[in-house]
Structure 1
Amino acid sequence: MNITILNPFLAAAKEVVQAEVQLEVTRGDLALQRSAFTSQDLTVLISLAGDIEGVVLYGLTTQTALALVSRMLDQEFKEMDAMAQSGISELANVITGRSTVNLSEAGFTCDISPPTLVQGQSIEISTVEFQRVVVPLETEVGIITAHLALREAQASADNMPYIPIQVETASPNGA
């Protein structure tokens, strides 16, 4: 993965977690994976489309998610109810949204999908032909593991040369 794609995500994660949850983020060792991603307790998926395409997956334990949401919403959560699910999904959404702003500053335009929250361990999620850069984001309440399966998009159809194609069709009477 190109460093101009990776760095905007790292900067956004650090900035958003510090602002929204008041926690410092330390980046763990990066790893490159090709195999299917096996989910943690909670996994938030957000797709990107545009100059950058792919998916970002944020994996974390229930304990870490509850601690983050409790700090973010300034109330204690003991279970992953609808409000906690919404909160952790929104945290991932804000990180990814901020990343697209950073990518825009680097000359890339892209849009993101609404977040999808997957609950349950050991669910295999394939990123098919995308390699994933795995980035542990360590905080004092636990680790958010970001999986970045992203690449620069191929030339879009709008940028491809126009080649007219003539199609002949038979008339209904066979002539």
Structure 2
Amino acid sequence: MVREQLAELTEMGLSALAELGNLIAGGTCIELEQLGFSADISPPTIMIGARSRISTLGIRRVVLPLATQHGHFNLHVAVDIT
């Protein structure tokens, strides 16, 4: 990712957020594999707006509230153990 100041959330900013999701998911998969678990990841989804809803179809998820100097956002992580 490029260290670039963004005054508003543009396509470049959304792409950077998606890449952050990829980095988190990829790192998590590596850690799980090292613990003996098999893991598959899906491409990140970015949802914008206070009224956005997300469904994980009965899969429990963890919501991680994150704060930056530019604002707050929530990272939703769903794990389906099969």
Q: Same fold (TM over 0.5)?
A: yes
User: How many residues are aligned here?
Assistant: 82
TM-score after normalising by structure 2: 0.77
Question: Deviation string for 1:28-48 (max 9, x for gaps)?
Answer: xxxxxxxxxxxxxxxxxxxxx
1:75 maps to a residue whose letter is E
- Cα displacement (A) at 1:147: 2.2
Q: In structure 2, do the counterparts of structure 1 residues 114 and 144 end up closer, same or farther at CA, with 3 Å as the change threshold?
A: same
The aligned counterpart of 1:104 is 33
**Matched position secondary structure for 2:51:** coil
Question: Deviation string for 1:37-76 (max 9, x for gaps)?
Answer: xxxxxxxxxxxxxxxxxxxxxxxxxxxxxxxxxxx52221
The structure carrying a bigger strand percent of its residues is: 1
* Cα RMSD after superposing both structures: 2.1
Larger Rg: 1
**Matched position secondary structure for 1:147:** strand
1:114 maps to a residue whose letter is P
Query: 1: CA distance between counterparts of 2:39 and 2:14?
Result: 25
- Cα displacement (A) at 1:113: 1.9
Query: 2: CA distance between counterparts of 1:144 and 1:124?
Result: 14
Query: 2: CA distance between counterparts of 1:122 and 1:106?
Result: 37
Question: Deviation string for 1:109-157 (max 9, x for gaps)?
Answer: 222222222222212212221222222344555444222221311xxxx
What 5-or-longer segments of structure 2 have no aligned partner?
Answer: none
Pairing 1:89–2:5 present: no
TM-score after normalising by structure 1: 0.41
Q: In structure 2, do the counterparts of structure 1 residues 124 and 85 end up closer, same or farther at CA, with 3 Å as the change threshold?
A: same
Pairing 1:123–2:52 present: yes
- Cα displacement (A) at 1:101: 0.3
Query: 1: CA distance between counterparts of 2:40 and 2:48?
Result: 25
What 5-or-longer segments of structure 1 have no aligned partner?
Answer: 1-71, 154-175
